[in-house]
Amino acid sequence: MSVREIVQEPDPVLHKRAKEVTGITPKIIKLLDDMADTMYDADGVGLAAPQVGILKRIIVIDCGDEIGFIEMINPEFVSKEGEQFGPEGCLSIPRLNGDVRRAQKVTVKGLNRKGEEITITGTDLLARAFQHEIDHLNGILFTELAETLYDVTERKGQE
User: Can 133 be counted among the known catalytic residues?
Assistant: yes
In terms of C-beta density within 10 A (0-12 exposed, 13-18 middle, 19 or more buried), how is residue 154 classed?
Answer: exposed
Q: Which of 116, 133, 144, 154 is catalytic?
A: 133
Q: State the sign of the Cα–Cα–Cα–Cα dihedral 40, 46, 51, 71.
A: positive
Rounded CA separation 30/34 (Å): 6
Q: Determine contact, residues 120/108, Cβ cutoff 8 Å.
A: yes
Q: Determine contact, residues 14/133, Cβ cutoff 8 Å.
A: no
Q: Strands 46-48 and 105-111, how do they pair? A: unpaired
In terms of C-beta density within 10 A (0-12 exposed, 13-18 middle, 19 or more buried), how is residue 37 classed?
Answer: middle
Residue numbering of the annotated binding site for Fe cation: 90, 132, 136
State which H helix or E strand residue 95 sits in: strand 93-102
Residues labelled as active-site residues: 133
